[in-house]
Amino acid sequence: MRRAIAACVVAGGVAFVLVARAEPKRDLCFDVTYAMNSRGTNAVFERRHLQGGGPTWAAILETVVRGYRPSVAADRYRFDDEGDAVQVCAADAALRDAVRADYKRLNGNAKALEAAIDRVPPGELE
């Protein structure tokens, strides 16, 4: 969970409020790379003319996270995608583990992956 840290600094009779956001801890992240794709996953991506790396997985997994109950606030997770990889970070271990489990399930089941892709809003897939 991102937390805001505030400090009040007085300089020359003027008060300034400094705010910093704490990012999810590095150990609450995991990586997904193109090289980790199963043969079935690569076949689905090829059939659908999708890049199959970071931006593809980020769009799919973000759609999956939006479907969790209760709905998960956007500030509780982050997808940092570039080229052939995406780093998935979460505010807590339970959310990270749930997203990782869904990634593994989708990467191992072409039909489930196809269904997940069908739920991604148009224009979000590469």
User: What digits encode the pLDDT tens for the residues 100-123?
Assistant: 999 999 999 999 999 999 999 989
Confidence at 9, pLDDT banded by 50, 70, 90: very low
Give, in order, the Cα–Cα distances in Å from 59 to each of 15, 32, 89, 117, 122.
42, 12, 14, 9, 10
| pTM, entire model | 0.77
**pLDDT tens digits along 40-95:** 999 999 999 999 999 999 999 999 998 886 667 878 899 999 999 999 999 999 99
